[in-house]
Structures are given as structure tokens and as C-alpha cells.
Amino acid sequence: MLDYRYDTQLLIEGKNLNEDTIHDYIMEHFEGDCLLAVGDDEIIKIHFHTNKPWKVLEYCASLGEIYDIVVEDMDRQARGLKG
């Protein structure tokens, strides 16, 4: 069984974004692993494994426009089903 079920990926587009600040906030406020927060001050890509992807999406939406959102169920994928 996986510790974190959902692979959550998205892009945040905004102004004055800071990948280190976003990375630190997610790590401090949400349970999960495999976090990547990379980009520049106008666009950040997020990749995070968590059990509550909606919380991550809510936070990211507060920073700017979010798009290219993908939430995959890794538990279903591990069982050979569509994620």
C-alpha cells in the first residue's frame, strides 16, 4: 500500500512567484512526498504525492492561475487500473 495515493501535478502562473517559498509552504502545511516546485517568478511546476490533492490545489490557486492539472490515483495504477 502506498503512503500517499495521489500524484498531483500542475502549473501556477502569476507574478512574483518564488519556488523556494512555495516548496517550503507545501512541505510545512501538507502531508506528502516527492515534492518538486520548479520554475521562475512567473510560472512554477508542482509535482507532489499526497492524500489530499484538493488542499494543494486550493493553496496553489491562491497564488495565481492554475492549469495543466493532473491528479492520478497511484493506488489504482499499482493494481493495473486507470489512475
Task: Please list the rounded mean pLDDT of every run of 10 residues in the chain (83 residues).
Answer: 92 97 98 98 98 98 98 92 83
Domains (range + CATH), the chain: 6-78 (3.30.70)
Question: What ranges in 1-83 are assigned the alpha helix state H?
Answer: 19-29, 53-61, 74-78
User: What's the pLDDT at 40?
Assistant: 97
Closest C-alpha among 67, 69, 66, 72 to residue 50:
72
Tell me how far apart the alpha carbons of residues 25 and 73 are, in angstroms, rounded to a whole number.
Answer: 23
**CA dihedral defined by 77, 80, 81, 83, rounded to 10 degrees?**
10
pLDDT computed for residue 78 by the predictor? 87
Q: What is the pLDDT of residue 83?
A: 74
- 48 — phi, psi (to 5°)? -155, 135
Would you state the pLDDT for residue 2?
81
